[in-house]
Structure 1
Amino acid sequence: MPVLAQIRWDVDPVLFELGAIQVHWYGLLFTTGFLIGYLMMYRFFTWENRPLPDLEPLFFYVIGGAVVGARLGHIVFYNFGYYILNPIEIFYVHQGGLASHGGGIGIIIALYFYARSRKKQPYLWVTDRVVIPTALAGMFIRIGNVFNSELYGLPADVPWAFVFERIDTIPRHPVQLYEALAYGTIFVVLFLTYRFYVYRREQDGTPLHGFLSGLFLVLIFTARFGLEFFKAPVSDLVNVLPIDMGQLLSIPAVLLGLWLIWRALRNASALRAAD
């Protein structure tokens, strides 16, 4: 086995302690991702002359939807039987157990309630902007998973394999880093598409509402589907099907994304034809 296949990872997930309060790397990275997202949304609102006082409620809608959705997604999709028998542990978020699919669904629902009382911010206009920093936040969260030694990959003999010593002594794919790299790349693609395509079309009077949301779903969940093949199973579905729960849930997300892209382009073409 290559020498570099022994990258030993035994970092304490707790960054520091203040009395009885523990500050975790995961929490710091989670918070950093969403704070950067807030600053990005501030820039989008400024560019497009949207009311800045709406930023604070938008921020809390996104955070609330992400956390509640991710927790419920973990419970429903991955460990429903356990939590039925131990309902009090539903609230033990500090012990881990957040599902990205559930977090995505939570944000989608939360943004519906945010946008329905703001006629100048259509629902798909909002989601098109929110998905850009969401991809970046996903990158930070996956790095946080590395510090928690969770969501690790299958055994591997590649030169960059990690030994998560808090788990076992087996070299594994650092699939969390694969996902972080994928999400970071997707963030760049989304931002450049917004700045040099969607934003310009909006200024020309032919908005593409839903285009970026669809592109986000297609790219994120295609990447997620492929990278799940390198990840240690977290559900029993692989005993029944050749794919796991994460891949199964990614399929409708990709299909929805393709439909949103098609719908946005169709509506834009109809607007141009009407002119």
Structure 2
Amino acid sequence: MEQYFVWNTDPVLMRFGVLDIHWYGLLFAAAFGFGMAIMRFIFRREGKPEGDLDALLIYLGLGTVLGARLGHVLFYDPAFYFSNPAEILAIWKGGLASHGGAIGLALSLYLFCRRRSDIGYLWLLDRIAIVALLGGCLIRVGNFFNSEIAGVPTDIPWAIVFSRIDTLPRHPTQLYEACVYLVMFLLMFLLYQKRRAPLEPGFLSGLFLSAVFSARFLLEFTKMHQASYDYSLPLNVGQLLSIPPVLVGLTLMVLAKRSGRKLLCEQTS
């Protein structure tokens, strides 16, 4: 075990009396902070009212957290939570599902756009997809500090021993996901910023869904089971939940490209 890196960092960054500041909470907050900074840049660049960003942050925060919590309750441990309903509210004990967070985010953006005629749903969804990747990267780093969502045991040279779990070297799956999301964020932000003509509405959202959840499907092979009931299934819950977003993403990309070609034909005819 001496040849492997041992991770035993305290998940609490600072303590102030009875108040604990966790690495995960700090990185979760940073995800929204950096996301809003990028969205402010995008709103200025495209002439959208920056005053809408405060309301947008509230919608995003509530939608993402509620969706992620309900996703964990319904997808990963429904038997426990339905038997102990008071535990559903105990978010401080952990338990946020990214699939549920994605659904909550999409619904909250829809509700936000219903009140504003100057901001289209797909327009906003495309741009939030960019910042969501950076947020996903930071949150997975937070999972790493918590020694949660660790990988299965392995003997690869870069395996890590999470001493808060056991003494076995494991895949640092949290860092795999964080690196994938960071690379995707950089690529999508460059695609958005450098492209002269605006991308067809829905294309970036489709790219986000298809790329992120394809990567998630593959990385699940290195991850410990998160649900207590999926050991007998050919695929784990995370993989099964990743298939629909991939299909939706590919559909959005195809429809976006078709609408773009149709508009081009109308302009040249």
Q: TM-score, normalised by structure 2?
A: 0.97
Q: For each residue in 1:18-67, what CA deviation from the matched residue of structure 2 results, as whole angstroms up to 9, or x when unmatched?
A: 12111000001111111000000000000000001001111111111110
Alignment of 1:163-182 (within 5 A): 163-182=161-180
Q: Which runs of 4+ in 1 moved over 2 A?
A: 236-241
Q: Match for 1:263: what amino acid?
A: L
Preserved CA contact (<8 Å) 2:137 2:182: yes
Q: Which residue of 2 aligns with 1:253?
A: 245
The alignment-based identity, stated in percent, is 48
SS in 2 for 1:12: coil
Greater helix fraction, Structure 1 or Structure 2? 1
Cα root mean square deviation, aligned: 1.1
Q: Deviations over 1:223-256 (max 9, x none)?
A: 1000000001112454332210110011110000
For 2:111, the equivalent position in structure 1 comes to 113
Q: What is the 5 A alignment of 1:1-275?
A: 4=3, 6-197=4-195, 200-202=196-198, 208-236=200-228, 238-275=230-267
2: distance between equivalents of 1:187 and 1:239?
Answer: 33
* AA at the equivalent of 1:201: A
Residue by residue, what CA displacement relative to the aligned partner does 1:74-111 show, whole Å, maximum 9, x if unpaired? Answer: 00000001001111111110110000000000000000
Q: Which runs of 5+ in 2 are unaligned?
A: none
Report deviation, 1:132: 0.6
Confirm or deny: 8 A CA contact 1:208 1:268 kept in the other structure. Answer: yes
**In 1, distance between residues paired with 2:259 and 2:190?**
22
**In 2, distance between residues paired with 1:238 and 1:226?**
17
- Amino acid corresponding to residue 96 of structure 1 in structure 2: G
Alpha-carbon distance in 2 for matches of 1:166, 1:100: 23
Question: Could you tell me how far apart the structure 2 residues matched to 1:69 and 1:190 are?
Answer: 24
CA offset digits 1:135-193 (Å, max 9, x no partner):
00000000000110100000011111111111111110000000000000110111111
TM-score, scaled to structure 1: 0.95
Give the secondary structure class of the aligned counterpart of 1:8. strand
Matched letter for residue 197 of structure 2 = R
* Alignment-mate amino acid for residue 225 of structure 2: P
How many residue pairs align between the two structures?
Answer: 267
